Amino acid sequence: MIKIAPSILSADFSNLAVEVDKVSNAEFLHIDVMDGHFVPNITMGPLVVEAIQNKTDNFLDVHLMIEDPDNYISDFADAGAQLITVHTEACPHLHRTVQNIKEQKVKAGVALNPATPLTVLENILPDIDLVLLMTVNPGFGGQKFIDTILFKIEKLRNRIEEEGLDIDIQVDGGIKPHNISKVVEAGANVIVAGSAVFGAEDPGQAVKDLKEACMG
């Protein structure tokens, strides 16, 4: 089953409770945390997760685009995160970081920037619940989808199937109704969409449109 993860990065921050309610027909809610170091933008922290966690029944998916994520994992878990995804490029001790996430009894995800090869997952894949393949360079909403990642998605899906693992493949960046079927066909099953959902007049309808467009 395909799961849609609206990113609140493109939502109206002055009205977050109302905004998240509009996408209750999606499965996930994607929260983009940026620190101004790992990426050239600053967004939100655990306080925002805590503020919205009882305003939604969607699965709370926290994407950490920050340096030294270990320092904040328990804060996000306490705030209500159900999945915490860290960037492999920010984690010199990735195995330890994944264990830290698991100790908090939340799901663990690992994100890869567009130029990061799948080989970095070699010795961590069986330990994680989700791989996030970035389809833009992280930092901002509303960027253009990078086409060459489709082959990377396909390669990872094949590897997961070959090894009989139960791991979600999430894609993030530039996903719209016109290209969602390509990423789904390549093997992604959790689809982040920011501007396509919260940039639309009716975000609930935009979620529906994305689900329908999955079929191609």
Paired residues of 83 in beta bridges: 61, 107
User: Is 172 an interacting residue with respect to Zn ion (CB under 5 A)?
Assistant: yes
Q: Which is nearer to ligand DX5, 150 or 175 (CB)?
A: 175
Enumerate residues 6+ apart whose C-beta is below 8 A from 130.
83, 85, 107, 108, 109, 110, 167, 168, 169, 170, 190
Q: Which is nearer to ligand DX5, 10 or 58 (CB)?
A: 10
Q: Which is nearer to ligand DX5, 87 or 166 (CB)?
A: 87
User: Is 35 an interacting residue with respect to Zn ion (CB under 5 A)?
Assistant: no
Residue with tokens 């967004």: 43
Cβ(53)–Cβ(80) below 8 Å? yes
Q: What distance in Å separates the CA atoms of residue 179 and residue 12, rounded to the nearest whole number?
A: 25
Minimum CB–partner distance for residue 165 and ligand DX5 (Å): 24
Minimum CB–partner distance for residue 214 and ligand DX5 (Å): 15
**Residue stretches of the annotated binding site:** 7, 30, 32, 63, 139-142, 172-174, 194-195
User: Is 61 an interacting residue with respect to Zn ion (CB under 5 A)?
Assistant: no
Active-site choice (32, 35, 129, 168): 32
**Residue stretches of the annotated binding site for substrate:** 7, 63, 139-142, 172-174, 194-195
Residue nearest to ligand DX5 (CB): 194
Sign of the torsion formed by the C-alpha atoms of 6, 11, 17 and 23: negative
The dihedral over CA atoms of 198, 194, 207, 129, expressed in degrees to the nearest 10, equals -140
Site for ligand DX5, rule CB under 6 A: 7, 9-10, 30, 32, 63, 136, 138-143, 172-175, 192-196
Active-site choice (35, 129, 172, 202): 172
**172 belongs to the catalytic site:** yes
Cβ(190)–Cβ(5) below 8 Å? yes
Cβ(193)–Cβ(11) below 8 Å? no
For the annotated catalytic residues, the residue numbers are 32, 172
- What are the residues binding Zn ion (CB under 5 A)? 32, 63, 172
